[in-house]
Chain A
Amino acid sequence: MKENMLAMNKKNFLGSVCAAFALAAVVSSCGDGKTRSTGWEFSRNMYDPIAFNPDQPNENFKNKITAQLPPAGTNPIGFERFEFANSLEEYERAGRELTSPLAVTQENLAKGDALFHTYCAVCHGPEGKGDGPITKERSVTDSRGTRALETFPPPPSYQKSDAASSSRGGAMSELSDGKIYHTIYYGHNSMGSHASQLSPEERWQVVMYVHELQKK
């Protein structure tokens, strides 16, 4: 009889423990898991870097930025200056004097293809027809509701079959090495400079791929 009761109690006991844990687990897992705070932290000083990260503010400099520009007139090792200025005459001169140092190989073309799709196709379109995704009608639905997004002015097509003309004279399908490189380096009107995103070698690979598109 007594043993029986103990067994009963054990069962009850286990049951209540399970119920309690289940409830606790349910209660403590509420919310969508996103928070505005970092929560509890322990020994913060082991997380913070001792050396400065490039994107950290820095009291040691006048403009409080860690990533300083190199002093004017200095060249980092291996850095080649682009000798053409940002003007129409210099653009024409680059078109005449500058040619690609890279050989046309399958590898360079494949790289140029990938780079073009990442850096240029948003505006120029995957085939260079000037029909990138941001030049088309499209809309977004978010916390501010559904609204149409602004369309970017479409650039002229590179393709020979479209016979579009460059705004600086001549046909888009006949832009030379130097003119395209100059455009990547300085941008032109609504197109910004892409020099900070592409290294000189990558720029030439893109130029090579643009020539492929011009043939279409």
Chain B
Amino acid sequence: MRNISSLLGKLAKTMSVGMMLLFAVTMSNAQDVKEGQTLFKSKCTTCHSVTKKVVGPALAGMTERHDEEWLVKWIKNSQAMIAAGDPTAVQLFEENNNLVMTAFTDLSDDQIKNIIAYVKDEEAKAAEAPAGGGAEAGAAQSDDANTFMIIGLIAIVVLAVVVIVVLNRVIRTLEKVIANNQAAIEAAQARNETVAENRFAKFAQAFVKNKKLVGFSVLMLVAFLAVAGWNTLWNVGVHQGYEPVQPIKFSHQIHAGVNQIECQYCHGGAFKSKNASIPSANVCMNCHNTVTASEHYDGELSPEIAKIYRAVDYNPDTRAYGNNPKPIQWVRIHNLPDFAYFNHSQHVTVAGVECQTCHGPVETMEEVYQYSPLTMKWCIDCHRTTEVNTDNAYYDQLIEAHEKLKKGEKMTAAMIGGLECGKCHY
């Protein structure tokens, strides 16, 4: 019964889609969908999409909600309509948190009608293509999944019955064979065991007798243990290659690689201070208030991005923040011992070292791992070979002091920074 009704439903859907397409095609003769598209892309996409909510509501179905005259008036100047007290306009405004839609007084009636034609055209396309169809497509997909699962279950049951029958047959024949050959088998088993024992014993004896082989094996074992031990000892406290599981599947490959967001956007501290700093969740929200990755989850919000929303207590339906934030606990990867002082800005801003020199190709990492050993040898090796970029006021002073020394003038502690607060108080 359900199948038939859903079949009828589908038929009706395709027919209505066809009708709408036909409608759209005839409409497009009068009104240029193409021009509507250009206008829509340049004026409306900052706030609207046809199929999903962005800043303003999804526009699909707007011609069913409002008549054309109302729409033209609204798009020209929605605030004027609200001020004049149009009940639909006021209600819409309040439902959307009193967000102000731009007034487009520069658009002519025809241009607006073109935009409306374009939206209708897109709507028809979206209904036709299952991927973009939102709730309807989701329902159709889950129907497919159900029938698939039922067929699968039946197949498994049939298979299980066949297997049981066959196994029963096999067991019965085997039992018969065993009964027939019991005596013969027992004798054979006894013989086999003694042969196996003999073989093993023979091998062991031969091995022990061959002193060279024994010596070589022992040597191998010792060498292996020595190398393994040596490596382990050298790597105590060295976390090179450490790649912990993070609370959110945040990918630098997507953000720093494909999206081309610069490191500084999120790790601004690296240019200004000791700590590179991990961005707080409000930085993520600069994009993720809009980017929901729902295309990969059948129109639903990505569960990973939902974690950001939970952290900042954000409600995507009302686009409002609550006051119960729960910080994300990222797992720290790079961690120098507390007795070593490392300052990012000295290396990044002053010396101009690229992040990738120390952190490796982060922009290709789906998950960040520690690329460098962070041992003292590593720091020292670089300090031995890297030339200092002296184009910097600090070195002017230093060079000046050296010039004075060369001329035989007096040099006081104050001239080498003896009056700087930080040299004594830190």
Q: Give A residues with C-beta under 8 Å from B.
A: 12, 16-17, 20-21, 23-25, 27-28, 33-42, 46-50, 54-55, 57, 65, 88, 117-119, 122, 133-134, 138-140, 142-143, 147-150, 152-156, 164-169, 187, 189-194, 196-197
Q: Which of B269-304 contact A (CB under 8 A)?
A: 275, 277-278, 280, 282-283, 285-287, 289-296
* Chain A interface main SS type: loop
9 nearest A-B residue pairs (beta carbon): A192-B286, A20-B223, A24-B227, A167-B102, A24-B224, A133-B260, A33-B241, A47-B337, A189-B55
Kindly state whether residue B381 has any CB partner on chain A within 8 Å: no
**CB-based A-B contact count at 8 angstroms:** 172
Kindly state whether residue B200 has any CB partner on chain A within 8 Å: no
Q: Decide: A150 near B224, CB < 8 A? Known: A34-B369, A65-B327, A167-B46.
A: no
Are B99 and A189 in touch, CB under 8 angstroms?
Answer: yes
Q: List the B side residues contacting A35 at CB < 8 Å.
A: 241-243
Kindly state whether residue B110 has any CB partner on chain A within 8 Å: no
A35, A42, A194 pick with most chain B CB within 10 angstroms: A35
Chain B contact residue count (CB 8 A cutoff): 77
Kindly state whether residue B238 has any CB partner on chain A within 8 Å: yes
**Which of B49, B262, B282 contacts A193, CB < 8 Å?**
B282
Beyond A23-B224, A55-B278, A148-B295, 10 extra complex contacts between A and B, CB < 8 Å: A17-B219, A24-B220, A34-B242, A40-B235, A57-B329, A122-B261, A133-B260, A134-B260, A140-B258, A190-B290
- Give the distance to chain B from A194, nearest Cβ to Cβ, in Å: 7
- Docked CA distance A49–B344 (Å): 18
Are A34 and B241 in touch, CB under 8 angstroms?
Answer: yes
- Give the distance to chain B from A101, nearest Cβ to Cβ, in Å: 21
Q: Decide: A156 near B46, CB < 8 A? Known: A41-B236, A147-B296.
A: yes
Kindly state whether residue B355 has any CB partner on chain A within 8 Å: no
- Docked CA distance A153–B159 (Å): 52
Question: CB-nearest residue of chain A relative to B324?
Answer: A63
Q: Decide: A196 near B280, CB < 8 A? Known: A36-B243, A142-B253.
A: yes
- Docked CA distance A167–B100 (Å): 9
Are A20 and B219 in touch, CB under 8 angstroms?
Answer: yes
* Chain B interface main SS type: loop
Are A39 and B235 in touch, CB under 8 angstroms?
Answer: yes
Are A142 and B268 in touch, CB under 8 angstroms?
Answer: no
- Docked CA distance A142–B231 (Å): 32
B99, B237, B282, B293 pick with most chain A CB within 10 angstroms: B237
Q: Give B residues with C-beta under 8 Å from A.
A: 42-43, 45-47, 49, 54-55, 99-103, 106, 212, 215-216, 219-220, 222-224, 226-228, 231-232, 235-245, 251, 253-254, 257-262, 264-265, 268, 275, 277-278, 280, 282-283, 285-287, 289-296, 327, 329-330, 332, 335, 337-339, 366, 369
- Give the distance to chain A from B269, nearest Cβ to Cβ, in Å: 10
Please list 12 pairs of residues, one from A and one from B, whose beta carbons are closer than 8 Å in the complex, sorted by A's number: A16-B216, A25-B227, A39-B238, A41-B236, A118-B265, A138-B258, A138-B259, A142-B366, A147-B296, A149-B258, A153-B45, A190-B54
Q: Decide: A134 near B259, CB < 8 A? Known: A21-B223, A140-B253, A154-B45.
A: yes
- Give the distance to chain B from A50, nearest Cβ to Cβ, in Å: 7
Are B262 and A117 in touch, CB under 8 angstroms?
Answer: yes
- Give the distance to chain A from B115, nearest Cβ to Cβ, in Å: 15
- Docked CA distance A48–B268 (Å): 24
Q: List the A side residues contacting B45 at CB < 8 Å.
A: 153-154
Q: List the B side residues contacting A12 at CB < 8 Å.
A: 212
Are A36 and B236 in touch, CB under 8 angstroms?
Answer: no
Are A140 and B102 in touch, CB under 8 angstroms?
Answer: no
Q: List the B side residues contacting A119 at CB < 8 Å.
A: 264-265
Are B226 and A24 in touch, CB under 8 angstroms?
Answer: yes
Q: Decide: A190 near B55, CB < 8 A? Known: A33-B241, A47-B335, A197-B265.
A: yes
- Docked CA distance A49–B103 (Å): 56
Q: List the A side residues contacting B103 at CB < 8 Å.
A: 169
- Docked CA distance A152–B282 (Å): 17
